[in-house]
Copies of this chain bind each other. A is one copy, B any other.
Amino acid sequence: MKLKTAAILSVGTELLLGDIVNTDAAFISRRLAALGINQYCQSVVGDNPERLKKALSELLETCDLVILTGGLGPTYDDLTKETAAALFGRGLVLHEESLERIQARLSKYGRVMSENNKKQAMLPEGAVVFKNNYGTAPGMAIEDEVRGKTAILLPGPPRECEPMFIEEVEPYLRRFADHILVSRMINIFGMGESRVEEILRPIMVSSLNPTLAPYAKEGEVQLRVTASAPTEAEGLAMCDEMIAKVRETEVGGCIYGIDAGSIERELVRELTSRRLRIACAESCTGGLCAKRLTDIPGSSAILDGSIVTYANSVKEQFVCVSRETLNAHGAVSKETALEMADGVRKLFSSDIGISTTGIAGPDGGTPEKPVGTVFVAVSYNGVCTHRELHIGVYNSNVFGTGTSERAYIRHISASNALELALELVRGR
């Protein structure tokens, strides 16, 4: 059986009401692309068996594989399994192993099994079962070998759907592939997406395997390298070769990591391995640098402390910014940023001090220092260095929904402070 084209069908009235965002579809799309499975389209229907049946049978006309999410819960309006089983001409039978797993999970949380939970262990005859390590509803694949069609049913909550896809569905889908796809991510900071594309276009166009694809996210650029190879080792070697090629271009200077995850993750990793500790003095970022560092488990080993110095008096009292500097250059200046970075390093007896000061808006801008004017600085090993930023939001697509310009400016400011620290400790 070949799985050439796929579709995603999400089930849930809460999606049509906009109460939740369909992150499952984006997640599965990303993973399918990495598996080399072409996605034809996506659909969303409410908890309505008739419409679900119609949508599923239409999608199965066009696609070899339809991945359904949602509607596997224990309540009466969860009918995805029943509808799909009927369409494939299968009855539901009790799956003992799933029943035991549900029982074990419920008793772990001190709950009693209800009739509704038992319903979750009733699975279509002959289905391939996917274990759920994060909830009660098992996932499944229903295969029609004659027509060459497969439906995969997954629970809707992302915390169940995502790990089940990675741990259970991907190994299942790989059986249908005659090659392995290996992917690595190059993390770039300090160069815009269009400039990265311009520089790398010759490589992107000429190389079909591995492929090189850029995309922008929250003020950074990521380059995805994907190789198709008979074995993982060969695929990785192909990726490494491509990464080396990219490093030789002008983009090379802006690479801060490979599969780094994020700037803060890379910085925590770097500081941990070098046994260095850091402290933050944050004005316009108001705690965001510390928040992002402490998002990373194990960050307590590298963070001495952080202080939010919103008021000038706090800047003077705690991180030793001199009144002369504040009077001569203002709180938003490179001089203040540098004194803050050095001051907070001393305050917490840290190896590294980082600082931010600027105008995040929406108010507070002046003609000389408009909204988006930010200074970040780092003090380390006798060196103090800074960056002057002028953050504008011309391209409206740089950030997700609900994010104001203020949030964007704060995010980019924190990214710069953290990345500057990374550069300085690496001696770049």
Contact = CB atoms under 8 A, between A and B. Distances in A.
A361 B46 CA distance: 37
B294 A305 contact: no
Identical copies of this chain, number:
2
B19 A314 contact: no
A202 interface: no
A310 B314 contact: no
A191 to B, nearest CB: 19
A287 interface: yes
A16 B363 CA distance: 39
Interface residues of A, number: 82
A43 interface: yes
A157 interface: yes
Given A298-B363, A306-B287, A39 B16 contact: yes
A308 B310 contact: no
B294 A287 contact: yes
Of listed A22, A40, A295, residue having the most chain B CB within 10 A:
A22
Interface string A265-298: 0000000000000001010011111110111011
Nearest to A14: B215
Contact of A43 (B16, B19, B44, B156): B44
A137 to B, nearest CB: 10
27 contacts: A15-B26, A17-B39, A18-B26, A19-B215, A21-B21, A41-B46, A42-B44, A43-B43, A156-B397, A157-B396, A157-B397, A158-B396, A282-B290, A286-B290, A286-B295, A287-B306, A288-B291, A294-B310, A295-B406, A295-B407, A297-B361, A303-B310, A304-B314, A305-B307, A305-B311, A306-B306, A306-B308
Closest 9 CB pairs between A and B?
A286-B294, A287-B290, A18-B29, A18-B30, A287-B287, A159-B396, A42-B44, A158-B401, A306-B308
